[in-house]
Amino acid sequence: MTDIQTSPGLWTLAWRRLRADRIAMGSMTVVLLYLLLLLSSASGLVAADWAREVGVNYAPPTFVGPQSADERIFGSTASDKEVPPENPLDPLKDIIRELRQQNAQPSSPVINDYGIPDPIGKEMAEIRQELAKTRNVESAAKLETLPFGADKWGHDIIKKTIKGSETSIIVGLVAAFLATLLGTVFGALSGYFGKAVDDFFNWFYSIFTAIPNMLLIMAVAAVLQHKGVLTIVLILGLTGWTGTYRLIRAEYIKHKAREYVMAADAIGASNWRKMFVHIFPNVSHVALVQMSIMSVSFIKAEVILSFLGFGVPVGVVSWGSMLNEAQNELILGKWWQLTAASIAMAVLVTAFSMFTDALRDALDPKLK
């Protein structure tokens, strides 16, 4: 009877514009690869055994080559073997020289760490030999090097990074969704109804923005008193809605005076219908872009929180907790965990930001 012919809506048109944009497609591919990784990691296909201690402590990446056990524990030990030059003014210089000579003699009886003959030296030496045997057995099972190195406990860095990505991205996305949801609903109510409702939400908004962000986050963290992924999501979501609120409120104020909303009023549409059926599809692109921007900033925020120790609990790994561990390792010259977490984060954040920019361009009605 009738020729059913559908026309492209806003999203189809936006998708077409997006597809024509090479940078957008490139960055979107990267983001999608991360999401794929996230899914396979969350479902246990990849990196489920990240907690297995497969390498020796701080096993370096393969291309660096293995390190000695002492190096693993104390960092570079080369300087220990150097004999410091003699100080001619030292009153103890004779004693020191004597001790050094004794120390240098291999045939002398067991000497303890202070250079004094040890009464239980022989027994201790036997115990040490026994210990060395067992340690050799264990070390044989663990790998000296791993493709991307290992951490303090010998966890494989690549698997740890994948598992960390899962936590960080989930935190970022879920928190951004929560913040956008709160911001959109508050903004819609405030902008649409105005008057007392608007005053109330503005008051609420003012309080949230008057407190420095970090302080607010710490306050919420203190109130929740529970370390966990959900806690971080709540912290970020509950403190991050303000920007979206402001934007969406302004959009609703602008749109509620538009003729199409008056037309909806004239045909008898309810407030709820006008707010969410009529106006929301016209401002949803703002919320979407806002959510995309916030995902990036919340991924970074999670890293900072975990770095400061407000983040994920012990036993859960995220990019932030990896960087937190890395600050101690760096003194020992173990740079691989830091590098892996940083690169993983930098690539995602850059790609996501570029994608957000392209998304905003594609959805911008002014460019139509």
Burial 174-200 (b: 16+ CB within 10 A, else e): bbbbbbbebbbbbbbbbbbbeeeebee
Nearer to another protein, 271 or 327 (CB): 271
| Residues engaged in binding another protein (CB under 8 A) | 2-7, 9-10, 20, 258-260, 262-269, 273, 278, 281-282
Cβ proximity to another protein: between 59 and 287 the closer is 287
Our CB check for another protein shows the closer of 21 and 325 to be: 21
102 or 282: whose CB is closer to another protein? 282
Closest Cα partner for 336 from 156, 131, 135? 156
Dihedral angle over CA of 113, 117, 122, 126, nearest 10: 10
Task: Return the SS3 of 149.
Answer: coil
Our CB check for another protein shows the closer of 4 and 141 to be: 4
CA-to-CA distance for 270 and 332, rounded, in angstroms?
Answer: 66
Instruction: Give 64's DSSP letter.
Output: T
Q: Which of 334, 247, 339 is nearest to 286 (CA)?
A: 247
Residue 81 or 368: the one with the smaller Cβ distance to another protein is 368
Least distance from C-beta 266 to another protein, angstroms?
5
Q: How far is the CB of 20 from another protein (least distance, A)?
A: 7
Backbone angles phi, psi at 8, to 5 degrees: -65, 135
The 3-state DSSP class for residue 121 equals helix
Nearer to another protein, 10 or 347 (CB): 10
Least distance in angstroms from the C-beta of 231 to another protein: 37
Q: Please report how close the Cβ of residue 17 comes to another protein at its closest, in angstroms.
A: 9
Per the structure block, which two tokens stand in for 103? 């120390």
User: Considering the complex, what minimum distance in angstroms separates the CB of residue 283 from another protein?
Assistant: 10
What is the widest separation between alpha-carbon atoms in the chain?
A: 113
Q: How far is the CB of 204 from another protein (least distance, A)?
A: 23
Token duo for residue 166: 């899962």
Question: Minimum CB separation from another protein for residue 276, in Å?
Answer: 12
Instruction: Looking at the chain, list the stretches that DSSP marks H as alpha helix, in order from N- to C-terminal side.
Output: 10-20, 22-42, 69-74, 93-104, 121-141, 157-193, 195-210, 213-224, 229-239, 242-256, 259-266, 271-272, 280-308, 319-329, 336-363
CB-nearer residue toward another protein: 155 or 274? 274
Q: How far is the CB of 24 from another protein (least distance, A)?
A: 14
Q: Which is nearer to another protein, 10 or 111 (CB)?
A: 10
Q: DSSP states of 232-298 as a string?
A: HHHHHHHHS-HHHHHHHHHHHHHHHTSHHHHHHHHTT--HHIIIIIIIHHHHHHHHHHHHHHHHHHH
The label of the residue with tokens 């907690």 reads 51
Q: Facing residues of 150 across strands?
A: 156
Go through the chain and tell me how many residues it has: 368
Q: At closest approach, how far in Å is the CB of 199 from another protein? A: 14
